[in-house]
Amino acid sequence: MRYERPNTANEAASLLAQPSTTAHILAGGTDLLVKMQSDQFNADLIIDIKSIKGMRDIVEDENGFTIGAAVPCAALGEHEGLKTAWPGLVEAANLIGSNQIQSRCTLSGNLCNASPAADSVPALVAAGAKALVVGTEGERAIPVEHIPLAPGRTALKRDEFIRALHVPAPSPHSADAYLRFTPRTEMDIAVVGVAVALTRSADGRVSEARVCLGAVGPKVILATEAADLIIDTALEETVLESLAQHCANAASPIDDKRGTVAFRKHVAGVLAKRSALIAYERAGEK
Ligand SMILES: Cc1cc2nc3c(=O)[nH]c(=O)nc-3n(C[C@H](O)[C@H](O)[C@H](O)COP(=O)(O)OP(=O)(O)OC[C@H]3O[C@@H](n4cnc5c(N)ncnc54)[C@H](O)[C@@H]3O)c2cc1C
């Protein structure tokens, strides 16, 4: 197996494009190194992207935040601008693993691993984030919700990788929240995860909303009907009940020892209500 550490994104894309090569991008390695221990793992090229310029930077400007693909999740929790703008996204990223994992794991790796239970993905989708994808033919921006296709599969072409994630600057009086249910309090994978991002207008009513469900389908679910329900409301109890019902209906979970279908659907509704209330309260404080 070959290990390459390119200095430019173009070089990395060319390496990925090499014919008859099974190549894998290496970011933090917290998923990849675990997979490499498996007998089924097959790769002849590992491309470490950490030396590419800008990969470890978080750039803030008037349009939002560009988070390099090798920025460890721990660094997100230390970025005051990002924490203020998107507290739910930072909380979701900081739920991943332990301190040791935090110092290595990345948002882009969490997304490209394409686990339905990835904690940061619902929060990225709710925030309206886009993946900045580089390939041999140039760069394109893809909404994060279109990257995972199924467990372990993404929409990236063979020669493509994510160089950064762009999270837009939130509108005034906007905020987000992410909650997950795990049987253990830490070091566990989400049985259900829900992210809500919303904007409040001057009269306290919700003017924009995005609701996203994780771990209750083969890929993340952008629950647009559920989000539409809370527009032009002040999250009255009846509205929250409808939100919960719509999220439960939108969920399409598996049935396993960590939770039955009925349980996961119910929890999706409960977490949607709670996340919406947290986001609403946070937006009111801005
Ligand atoms: C002990 C432990 C606890 C964990 N707990 C959680 C948890 O609570 N919640 C959770 O969601 N996850 C958890 N994980 C999973 C893992 O830490 C995350 O998915 C992490 O965010 C992956 O990021 P990484 O940079 O380490 O990715 P890597 O391991 O480097 O890569 C993961 C996959 O994505 C690909 N990839 C990486 N970066 C890119 C890129 N820029 N472009 C294209 N492809 C790319 C790689 O080729 C690989 O297939 C845990 C893992 C461990 C070992």
Query: Which of 121, 113, 129 minimizes the C-alpha distance to 27?
Result: 113
Minimum-distance ligand 1 atom for the alpha carbon of 106: 25
Banded pLDDT at 107 (limits 50, 70, 90): very high
First-residue to last-residue Cα distance in the chain:
51
What is the arrangement of strands in the sheet containing 23-26, beginning at the earlier edge strand?
Answer: 2-4, 45-48, 23-26
Banded pLDDT at 20 (limits 50, 70, 90): confident
pTM, to two decimals: 0.98
Cβ(191) – ligand 1 distance below 6 Å: no
pLDDT of residue 106: 98
Residue linked to tokens 């209500």: 273
Average pLDDT over residues 161-166: 98
**Which is more confident, 186 or 82?**
82
pLDDT of residue 187: 82
Alpha carbon of 107 to ligand 1 centroid (Å): 8
Banded pLDDT at 186 (limits 50, 70, 90): confident
What does the chain come to in residues? 286
Residues facing residue 206 across a β-bridge = 200
Minimum-distance ligand 1 atom for the alpha carbon of 49: 41
Q: Which fold has domain 177-284?
A: Enolase-like; domain 1 (3.30.390)
Match domain 57-168 to its CATH number in 3.40.50.10420, 2.60.40.420, 3.30.465.10, 3.30.830.10.
3.30.465.10
Do 214 and 121 meet the contact criterion of CB atoms below 8 Å apart? yes
Three-state SS for 147? coil
What are the DSSP calls for 45-97, one per residue? EEEE-TTSTTTT-EEEETTEEEEETT-BHHHHTT-HHHHHH-HHHHHHHHTSS
Banded pLDDT at 39 (limits 50, 70, 90): confident
pLDDT of residue 260: 96
177-284 has the same fold as 57-168: no
Residue 70 tokens read as 């090798």
Query: pLDDT tens digits for 225-238?
Result: 999 999 999 999 99
Q: Is the pLDDT of residue 286 over 80?
A: yes
Three-state SS for 23? strand
Residues facing residue 83 across a β-bridge = none
Domain extents in the chain? 57-168, 177-284
Cβ(214) – ligand 1 distance below 6 Å: no
Residue linked to tokens 């110092």: 103
Minimum-distance ligand 1 atom for the alpha carbon of 26: 30
Average pLDDT of the residues of the chain: 96
Q: Is the pLDDT of residue 109 over 90?
A: yes
What are the DSSP calls for 228-266, one per residue? HHHTTS---HHHHHHHHHHHHHH-----BTTB-HHHHHH
